[in-house]
Structure formats: structure tokens, C-alpha cells
Amino acid sequence: MNLVPVRISDEISIHLSPGKHSRLIRAIIEEFAPRFAPDSVLIYAGDTGDKTGYFDHMRLAALGVTVDSHGKMPDVILHYADRGWLLLVESVTSHGPVDPKRHEELIQLFASSTAGLVYVTAFPTRAVLARYIAEIAWETEVWVADAPTHLIHFNGTRFLGPYAVE
């Protein structure tokens, strides 16, 4: 089976397991990140085959976060240093979006982060988004790969930015 090539930087490329999920992860890294978090650095990209397609443990630790298990990690983590943000992106092809339960899990997992947390759910198409729209947590963002220049903001006082944890 053909692996899904993902270009992380000029020097680094990885290959993810074949499938829709990996193709959406590639779109997040190659299409979403340059548009909405330019010059951001990939810290983590999960892979359905081995769970750690790419993981820069040192960079995440430098932001105050250490994790014991990859099972709770979002599908993609981007560090947008220019804004001091950590973008936590869930890739939805079969499992759900950043819903209120997942939002709380991510808050807990990344509670020690020195960077502001931004929660994003990525969908391959608007048809897939339509199946999950009622589940999406407030104060999160939604990106759809088949309309890569647009972002959907789910309420709150910010547009693509972190919220203070109360």
C-alpha cells in the first residue's frame, strides 16, 4: 500500500499510513498551517499505523508539556511561535471533533503549556462537517480541507486565538 508523504520542512519529510485520515493530516500540515499559522513548527503528527508519525518531544517539553501516552494526543500539534500559540488539531474522518468532552481532555493534557492553546477541528469536506456540527465545542475553530482558505469560528470573544482557562 502507498504511504502518504508529508513535507514537514525543506529538510524533513515523513510517510504516514495510507488512508483518508493521513491525507487530512497532510492537508492540515501543508494547507492549513501556512494559511492560518504561517511559519509554525510541527510538533506532532499522529499516524493510525504507529501513533507517532512525527513527534518532537523536546520542543513540546520546552513549552512546558510532557505526556506519558500518545493515546490522548490530538492528531496534529503546531507551535505558532510568532503568536505564542499551540494549535491542537483533531482530524475528523471517522472519529468525532473537539466536542466539550474532548475540549476538557485537551485542557487537562496541556494545562502546563506556556503557550496559549487554540483548538481546531479539521474535516475533509463540508459534508463530513455536517454530520458533526452539533457536537463541536464553543470557543474552537473548524477548518475544512475542501475550502482551505476559510475558517469557521465557533463563538467566543476571539477569532483563532487562545482563551484564558478559568
Number of domains in the chain: 1
Domain assignment of residue 159, yes or no? no
pLDDT given at position 91: 95
Q: How confident is the model at residue 50 (pLDDT cuts 50, 70, 90)?
A: low
Q: How far apart are CA 5 and CA 27, in angstroms?
A: 11
Structural domain boundaries, residue 131: 4-154
Domain assignment of residue 27, yes or no? yes
Cell representation of residue 16: 504516514
Tell me what the mean pLDDT of segment 12-33 comes to.
87
Domain assignment of residue 162, yes or no? no
Residue 80, pLDDT above cutoff 80: yes
Domain assignment of residue 60, yes or no? yes
Say what percent of the chain tops pLDDT 70: 90
Q: Which helix (H) or strand (E) holds 69?
A: none
List alpha helices for the chain, DSSP H.
20-27, 33-36, 57-62, 100-109, 126-132
Domain assignment of residue 49, yes or no? yes
- Give the CATH number, domain containing residue 137: 3.40.1350.80
Domain assignment of residue 96, yes or no? yes
- Over the chain, what is the mean pLDDT? 88
Q: Give this prediction's pTM.
A: 0.89
Domain assignment of residue 98, yes or no? yes
From 83-87, 88-92, 156-160, the region with the lowest mean pLDDT? 156-160
Torsion of CA 166, 143, 125, 16, to 10 degrees: -90
Q: How confident is the model at residue 68 (pLDDT cuts 50, 70, 90)?
A: confident
Domain assignment of residue 54, yes or no? yes
Q: How far apart are CA 61 and CA 65, in angstroms?
A: 5
Q: How confident is the model at residue 71 (pLDDT cuts 50, 70, 90)?
A: low
